[in-house]
């Protein structure tokens, strides 16, 4: 099997299993977990950057106003995404997080149209409309917007948009993002500890190890994903991205027994259908472009 496929599979499987990890830390306030995730991710990323000999170049890039502004925005967006995800898992909304990452690719396409002036084919528009119909159905059926899913999809979509125009590679970029968030995270933990509000300092060795490990479960899938992206086509990577929300869905329904009503099933089926239409259209479009190119080369 292609090594890139193996790396991508490993990355998405780890992301798909992430709810289990955050469930182990659900006795810690989500904001505290977020602070630890930022801190330990930064130190682990810094270690990787140093080992790979990229630290000197990264220090030079940090003096660029464009780099700092871009990655400050990216850091805030990823912090919102991480906080929402950690809180939602601990509060028993894994299915909502799954929905968010199912609709994220289609929402990202809309952002590409609005900001980058990309164009869509009619079938792609139909897929996006179908996904919107699924979200609206869930809104009407439950009497409230699936706000967790929308926050995750919007924050990650905007994050992807910022990263698309960002000047650094994925490893260096995430290092800068966590560096920007490092001082606020340390300050909040210090304040919580001094005010007697911190929980993480009084919960034993196992919890401490898990909090440090939050950096590891953040960095390892990211490095695997970066390696995969260099080795396989983005179209294949795009299809494989549904491994993670599918695993989250399975965990939510069959492991943590979250309520999965008939109305929620209908909403998910509509969104799944939209994704199937979008993926099939993309496959057919690529095939139709590849055949004339192959004939021309022959």
Give the separation between CA 30 and CA 86, rounded to whole angstroms: 6
Give the separation between CA 171 and CA 156, rounded to whole angstroms: 17
- Mean pLDDT across the chain, nearest whole number? 86
pLDDT by residue (tens digit) across 63-84?
788 888 999 999 999 999 999 9
pLDDT by residue (tens digit) across 180-221?
999 999 999 988 877 766 676 667 789 989 999 999 999 999
- Confidence band (pLDDT; 50, 70, 90) for 240? confident
How would you classify residue 169: left for phi > 0, otherwise alpha for psi between -120 and 50, otherwise beta?
Answer: beta
- Domain ranges in the chain? 3-297
Secondary structure letter of residue 251 according to DSSP? I
Identify the weakest region by mean pLDDT among 23-32, 73-82, 135-144, 227-236: 227-236
pTM, whole model, 2 decimals?
0.89
Q: What residues contact residue 151 under an 8 Å CB cut-off, 6+ apart?
A: 80, 81, 84, 100
pLDDT at 133: 92
- Confidence band (pLDDT; 50, 70, 90) for 290? low
For the chain, report the end-to-end CA distance as a whole number of angstroms: 28
The arithmetic mean of pLDDT across residues 3-32, rounded, is 93
- Using the Cα atoms of residue 128, residue 144, residue 115 and residue 172 in order, give the sign of their dihedral: negative
Whether 141 has a pLDDT exceeding 90, the answer reads: no
């Amino acid at each position: 099997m292609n090594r890139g496929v193996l790396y991508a599979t490993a990355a998405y499987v780890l992301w798909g299993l992430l709810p289990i990890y955050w469930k182990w830390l659900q006795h810690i306030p989500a904001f505290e977990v977020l602070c630890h995730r930022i801190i330990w991710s930064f130190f682990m990323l810094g270690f990787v950057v140093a080992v790979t000999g990229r630290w000197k170049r990264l220090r030079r890039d940090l003096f660029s106003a464009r780099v700092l502004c871009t990655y400050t925005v990216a850091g805030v967006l990823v912090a919102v995404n991480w906080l929402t995800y950690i809180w939602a898992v601990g509060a028993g909304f894994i299915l909502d997080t799954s929905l968010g990452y199912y609709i994220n690719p289609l929402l990202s396409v809309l952002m590409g149209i609005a900001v980058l002036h990309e164009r869509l084919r009619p079938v792609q528009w139909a897929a996006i409309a179908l996904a919107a119909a699924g979200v609206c159905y869930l809104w009407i059926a439950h009497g409230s917007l699936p706000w967790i899913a929308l926050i995750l999809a919007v924050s990650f979509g905007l994050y992807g948009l910022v990263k698309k125009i960002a000047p650094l590679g994925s490893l260096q970029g995430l290092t800068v993002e966590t560096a920007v968030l490092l001082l606020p995270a340390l300050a909040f933990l210090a304040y919580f500890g001094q005010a007697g509000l911190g929980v993480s300092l009084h919960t034993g060795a196992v919890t401490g190890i898990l909090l440090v490990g939050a950096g590891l479960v953040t960095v390892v899938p990211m490095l695997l994903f970066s390696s995969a992206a260099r080795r396989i086509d983005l179209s294949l990577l795009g299809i494989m991205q549904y491994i993670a929300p599918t695993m989250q869905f399975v965990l939510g329904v069959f492991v943590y027994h979250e309520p999965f009503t008939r109305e929620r099933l209908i909403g998910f089926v509509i969104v799944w259908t939209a994704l199937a239409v979008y993926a099939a259209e993309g496959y057919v479009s690529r095939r139709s472009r590849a055949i004339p190119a192959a004939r021309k080369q022959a």
